[in-house]
Structure 1
């Protein structure tokens, strides 16, 4: 299988950190996302469930990650993510941050929820119904990873 590349032919080996924050033990969503990200050519470090803010920060620092993707399905992400971006800044990390899932108990208006997490510092906020392909396309755009049509065709032929 060919290694995915960005414009200019450089291999795409962007590292993303993935995990479920706080006391949440929902693993299915991040497992699906991990497989989709790897298929798209990302180097994925999956921290699993019940991941602390410090574990996200330490993993991003240790791997020189380009992005941190936080998942939460049990509705307590607002509490779990307070101060998260301050910790990233204290570790001198400049990473793209995403959060997705069922982020708030009784979440009626996702627009309000999205605004809350944007104000916390997340670059993108997704609901639990988001298709992994949508998040991956957003991540590629945010990290400016665009392959040429010729490169896409060569990957599909060699797969």
Structure 2
């Protein structure tokens, strides 16, 4: 089974490079990616997650106003009866000096994982695989020995 993820840049942000790189990395890792592109609304994320029976929603924001753009986002998800893992990453706050405080803020807003703009896509993909309990296909597991 292929896990479907929704990917996009939220709010008025028009930074596309990060999601393009992430889309390619996610697809290479075996995920089915629905890329909403830039300047996507909360409603678009929720509608896409519902329409595509997505397991995860990945929000990107680089212009520093993610907190304002994401206020009420998890309430919209709850109101739509979606059960999705949510990630956010990028330059999430203007003048972001203490990323741990930024991470805490977004975790309190409901995001399962919060990444800074320096995060390697592979780190996010490994976290996503762990959170969604993604296992390699049986064909890739063959030949591996298991120690008991």
TM-score by length of 1: 0.87
Q: Does 1:69 align with 2:58?
A: yes
Q: Distance in 2 between matches of 1:118 and 1:76?
A: 16
State how many pairs are aligned: 143
Q: Distance in 1 between matches of 2:13 and 2:116?
A: 16
Determine the structure 2 residue equivalent to 1:13.
Answer: 2
Determine the structure 1 residue equivalent to 2:125.
Answer: 136
Decide whether aligned partners of structure 1 residues 89 and 150 sit closer, same or farther in structure 2, where only a CA change above 3 A counts: same
- Residue 34 of structure 2: SS of its match in structure 1? strand
Out of 13, 18, 36, the position equivalent to 1:29 is 18
Q: Distance in 1 between matches of 2:94 and 2:113?
A: 19
How many angstroms does 1:152 deviate by? 6.0
Q: Distance in 2 between matches of 1:25 and 1:152?
A: 41
Determine the structure 2 residue equivalent to 1:96.
Answer: 85
Q: Distance in 1 between matches of 2:10 and 2:26?
A: 19
Determine the structure 2 residue equivalent to 1:109.
Answer: 98
Q: Distance in 1 between matches of 2:80 and 2:73?
A: 11
TM-score by length of 2: 0.93
Higher relative contact order structure (alpha carbons within 8 Å, sequence separation ≥ 6): 1
Q: Distance in 2 between matches of 1:69 and 1:118?
A: 14
How many angstroms does 1:150 deviate by? 5.9
Q: Distance in 2 between matches of 1:153 and 1:22?
A: 45
Determine the structure 2 residue equivalent to 1:3.
Answer: none
Q: Which runs of 5+ in 1 are unaligned?
A: 1-11, 155-159
Decide whether aligned partners of structure 1 residues 128 and 153 sit closer, same or farther in structure 2, where only a CA change above 3 A counts: farther
Superposed CA RMSD in Å reads 1.5
Q: Which runs of 5+ in 2 are unaligned?
A: 144-148
Decide whether aligned partners of structure 1 residues 153 and 127 sit closer, same or farther in structure 2, where only a CA change above 3 A counts: farther
Determine the structure 1 residue equivalent to 2:33.
Answer: 44
